[in-house]
Copies of this chain bind each other. A is one copy, B any other.
Amino acid sequence: MDKRQITLKDIAKELKLSPSTVSRALRNHPAISKETKELVRDYAVKHKYKPNTLALQLRTNRNNTIGVIVPEIVHYFFSTVIAGIQDEAEKENYNLIICQSNENYGREVKSVETLLDARVRGILASQSKSTEEFSHFQDIIDNGTHLVFFDRICTGINTDKVVIDDYAGAYNAVDYLIRSGCTRIAFLGSNPHLPIANNRRMGYEDALRNHNISVDKALIQVCDTIELAREIVPVMLKIAPAPDAFFCINDEVASYCLQICKSAGYKIPQDISVCGFTNSYITEMTDPTLTSVDQHGFEMGKAAARLLINRIKGIEKKTGIVSKVIKTKLVVRNSTRN
């Protein structure tokens, strides 16, 4: 192991040329003669010369790395976003350093440090649920590094972002539930200081109001994990009159909710409709299959990466902040009435 890579200098010495000539030949500089170019190139190919990225980067004082901070990697939505980011970054020869915060504020702060130490060109971030203090994100900007938030944006920081239309996604789903005859629709949400959770709740409430259904606080709960679902759903089923629909913040909660309702003797969707959010592959694995709001994570990843790269390259002209919205789509399956 640790074989030394061949360098420009090695080639120069071997070919009795100067390093600069070799450099120019390889980069197809017009001033170099055809013969020299061929000579150099043949030698380079033959000896598998690879330019030392590190040296290039040191000279230009910039690397081609993008940092990504997600709450979790083992997560359908976020892994989908990462795939989208990767797809777009690869096209432009950017590498990715991926950090996960594990929904933990401290690890999020540390991830930012790691990425800044690595001198990434820019950072794509989705904040953890437990983050309520934002100076680490401000540090990124103060450091002169580009920052784009996606999905779980941070309202305290003034920078580019890519989000889905959470309000409309929720509104449309709840509207659909109402039109199918549901009137007691529960909302299993998340921490309201997350804009995604708050916007969906507003969409939910407005859909109810527009159909002259009053908002019942008892039907609105923070319930964004399967553990909470196990606890909260049975309690909600005991409310009189019982809910005839659950609109859930993610597919995992929806899936558990569905199971719990079934175990309690309710027929899905005849007695109770259940709707998830994300449209992950588990929507096809539940029984009945799960109606869900598609978040288009891949598109979001691509859009966020695109925006960041445009900022890095200075292509994005807009001087103020850019806010991109990805449209959601309700995918109706069998867990909701028609």
Q: Which residues of A are interface residues toward B (Cβ below 8 A)?
A: 1-5, 48, 50, 52-55, 57-58, 61, 63, 72-76, 79-80, 82-83, 86, 90, 95-100, 114, 116-119, 143-146, 226, 252, 255-256, 259, 262, 281-282, 284-287, 311
Contacts and interface: CB of A to CB of B under 8 A. Distances in A.
A285 B79 contact: no
Q: Which 10 pairs, one residue from A and one from B, show the smallest C-beta to C-beta distance? A: A3-B144, A287-B287, A255-B285, A54-B58, A74-B79, A95-B97, A73-B83, A54-B57, A79-B79, A58-B58
Nearest to A122: B1
A286 B286 CA distance: 5
Contacts of A63: 54
A118 B54 CA distance: 8
Contacts of A95: 97, 114, 118
Contact of A50 (B53, B80, B116): B116
Q: How many copies does the complex hold?
A: 2
A48 B113 CA distance: 12
A116 to B, nearest CB: 7
Nearest to A146: B1
A119 B73 contact: no
Nearest to A145: B1
Nearest to A298: B74
Contacts of A117: 50, 53
Contacts of A50: 116-117, 119
A95 B99 CA distance: 9
Nearest to A297: B74
A1 B159 CA distance: 12
Contact of A73 (B82, B114, B146, B281): B82
A80 B75 CA distance: 9
13 contacts: A1-B144, A1-B146, A50-B117, A52-B58, A52-B61, A52-B119, A53-B117, A73-B82, A79-B79, A82-B98, A259-B285, A285-B286, A287-B287
Contacts of A3: 143-144
Contacts of A79: 73-75, 79
Nearest to A226: B284
Contacts of A52: 58, 61, 119
Nearest to A58: B54
Best-surrounded residue of A2, A72, A285 (most CB of chain B within 10 A): A285
Best-surrounded residue of A73, A79, A116, A118 (most CB of chain B within 10 A): A73
Nearest to A68: B98
Nearest to A116: B50
A54 B119 contact: yes
A97 B96 contact: yes
Contacts of A80: 74
Contact of A282 (B98, B116, B119, B285): B285
Contacts of A287: 259, 262, 286-287
Best-surrounded residue of A95, A117, A287 (most CB of chain B within 10 A): A95
Nearest to A283: B285
Contacts of A86: 73, 98-100
A83 B57 contact: no
Given A4-B61, A75-B79, A255-B285, 17 more contacts: A1-B144, A3-B144, A5-B144, A53-B117, A54-B54, A54-B57, A54-B119, A55-B58, A74-B80, A79-B79, A83-B100, A95-B114, A95-B118, A96-B97, A256-B285, A259-B287, A282-B282
